[in-house]
């Protein structure tokens, strides 16, 4: 079946511009995560959606970052007034739920963002 | 904040040898998972071990969990060049909290 997809795969933008990154999770998965990974580094948790609960935004680095998940499916991560330090690979993952085996996360291929 | 911290940060071994990576975590967990990442892009789930389990096997992978020491280890037996990747542990605290990843171990298997 179809996995998690992300678009675009690569995005180059100029400092100060806004960008939108899209994530299509696996159908039926109730949990969706956004992470950021800088070159050679680990994953930095950004935001987490679980069903109809309020999202956990505790990982968002600044108020320039926001995310939505419409209809419990597609999610968009928006970065306003991009800065060079925002350059990274942005990874999206979905899971069937949370707790036990439902926790297994399925990752998309990521969006590589470069801010010039 | 990061739940898991892998050790070593980098590991280089010969093909056929075993590779052992360790993970320590800070708070109580519901489960702990290991993921592999090739070429700096998407991660692939390897194995999940629950807090009431001590050891789990999957093919050439063996994972142990010691909740008293808040640590886990991933053993890859008879390593292959294709095992070259970064390996991450990730833990979820009890309750509706997000899965949090460590910084990873970069494994290089030399043919």
Q: Is the pLDDT of residue A99 over 90?
A: no
pLDDT band at B94 (very low <50, low <70, confident <90, very high): low
Mean per-residue pLDDT for A109-114? 96
Is B57 an interface residue toward A (CB < 8 Å)? no
Mutation choice for A interface testing from B2, B31, B98, B104 by most A CBs within 10 A? B98
Strands B61-66 and B71-76: antiparallel
Q: Which of B45, B88, B96 sits opposite A104 (nearest CB)?
A: B45
Helix (H, G, I), strand (E, B) or coil at B81: helix
Q: What local confidence, expressed as pLDDT, does residue A110 receive?
A: 95
What is the pLDDT, as a whole number, of residue A2?
A: 82
Partner residues linked to A93 by β-bridges? A33, A107
Strands (E), chain B: 4-7, 10-14, 19-25, 31-37, 43-50, 55-58, 61-66, 71-76, 85-92, 100-101, 105-110
Average pLDDT, integer, range B19-40? 88
pLDDT-derived band of residue B1, with 50, 70 and 90 as boundaries?
very low
Distance between CA atoms of A72 and B16, rounded to whole angstroms?
Answer: 45
Search chain B and give the residue with CA nearest A48. Answer: B98
Q: Is the pLDDT of residue A15 over 90?
A: yes
Name the residue in chain A with its Cα closest to that of B43: A107
CB pair distance less than 8 Å for A42 and B2? yes
Q: Which pLDDT tens digit goes with each residue over A30-49?
A: 999 999 998 878 889 999 99
The rounded distance, in Å, linking the Cα atoms of B100 and A73 is 22
């Amino acid at each position: 079946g179809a996995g998690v997809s992300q678009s675009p795969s690569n995005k180059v933008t100029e400092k100060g511009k806004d960008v939108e990154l899209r994530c299509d999770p696996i159908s039926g998965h109730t949990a969706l995560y956004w992470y950021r990974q800088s070159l050679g580094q680990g994953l930095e948790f950004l935001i987490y959606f679980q069903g109809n609960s309020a999202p956990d935004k505790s990982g968002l680095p600044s108020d320039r970052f926001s995310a939505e998940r419409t209809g419990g499916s597609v999610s968009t991560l928006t970065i306003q007034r991009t800065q060079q330090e925002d350059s990274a690979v942005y990874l999206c993952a979905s899971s069937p739920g949370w707790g036990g085996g439902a926790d297994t996360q399925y990752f998309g291929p990521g969006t590589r963002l470069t801010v010039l | 904040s990061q739940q898991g911290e892998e050790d070593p940060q980098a590991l280089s071994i010969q093909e056929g040898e075993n590779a052992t990576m360790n993970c320590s975590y800070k708070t109580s967990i519901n489960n702990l998972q290991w993921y592999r990442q090739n070429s700096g892009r998407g991660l692939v789930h390897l194995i999940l071990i629950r807090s009431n389990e001590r050891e789990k096997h999957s093919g050439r992978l063996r994972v142990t969990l010691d909740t008293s020491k808040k640590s886990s280890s991933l053993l890859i037996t008879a390593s292959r060049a294709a095992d070259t990747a970064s390996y991450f542990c990730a833990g979820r605290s009890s309750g509706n909290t997000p899965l949090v990843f460590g910084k990873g171990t970069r494994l290089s298997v030399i043919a």
